Structure formats: structure tokens, C-alpha cells
Amino acid sequence: METKTKLIIGGLAALVVALPLTCGVALNDYNYSEGSRVGVVVKYSKKGFPGCKTYEGTLALEGQASTGATSGRTWDFSVDESSIDTQVKSALDSGKRVKLDYQQHLWTWPCRGNTEYFLTEVSELK
């Protein structure tokens, strides 16, 4: 093969590898939306394969259905910061109502979390 052909093939191969990686890095940090949810943390665990553990939790949401009955809805979230991890564990142990602020990411690396919702703040409510 000619040197020019090898350079073109090498450049295309590099592009095929670099483009998805660049998009992955950009999307991993892209904040699609943010908001808050109120309820009681009912589950919090560290799970995954060795070398790829994530912190995952479940919030029992408050609210009433249109019929007046209480709702049994839950919301799953991920935690990727150690300071938030400590706050969520405290909320789970206390069983008190909390407000969880979050950012939604449409795509993340698998070892970052299993959901698209990542907590940014935990506030205990009275």
C-alpha cells in the first residue's frame, strides 16, 4: 500500500475512535435538566461489578392521586459525590422527609451511575 493510502486509512481509523469518545465525554457532563423531589429515602446501596461500583437509591415520593388516596410512587437516583453519599445515608437512617435536588444527564458512563438522575444536594425538611 502507498504511504498516502496508509495515512488516509489511519486518519479514518483515528476518527472512528476519537469521535465517539469525544461525544461520550461531552454528553457525560451535559446537564439536560435539573429539579427537586420530596419524599423519604427508602433504599440506598452500592452495587455493580468489581472496579465499577455505583451508589444507587430510591425515594418514596409524596403525593395524592386524584381520588384522594396516597400514592405509592418511587423515584430512583444515583450519587457520584462523596459529600452527597454521606447526606443520603443520614437521610436513610433518620427516615425523615428530605428534598433531593438533582441534575438529569441523558447519557453517562456506565461506572458513573445506573440512572440519569444525579443528586446535587440533600435537604432535611421539617
The enclosing domain of 62 has a CATH number of 2.40.50.140
Number of domains in the chain: 2
Q: How far is 22 from 105, CA to CA, in rounded Å?
A: 16
Structure-block grid coordinates of residue 42: 427508602
Which pLDDT band holds residue 4 (cuts at 50, 70, 90)? confident
pLDDT exceeds cutoff 80 at 12: no
The reply to whether 17 and 37 lie within a common domain is no
Domain coverage including residue 41: 32-124
Q: What is the CA radius of gyration of the chain?
A: 21
Bridge partners of 38, per DSSP, are 99
* Residue found by looking up cell 433531593 in the block: 100
Q: Which tens digit of pLDDT belongs to each residue from 47-78? A: 988 888 999 999 999 875 545 555 689 999 99
Instruction: State the average pLDDT for the chain.
Output: 85
Same domain, 17 and 72: no
Count of other CB atoms within 10 angstroms of residue 55: 23
Same domain, 52 and 14: no
64 and 15 housed in the same domain: no
Statement to judge: residues 21 and 72 lie in one domain = no
Q: What is the pLDDT of residues 100-113, one digit of tens each?
A: 999 999 878 778 88
Contact 92, 85 (CB under 8 A): no
pLDDT band at 21 (very low <50, low <70, confident <90, very high): low
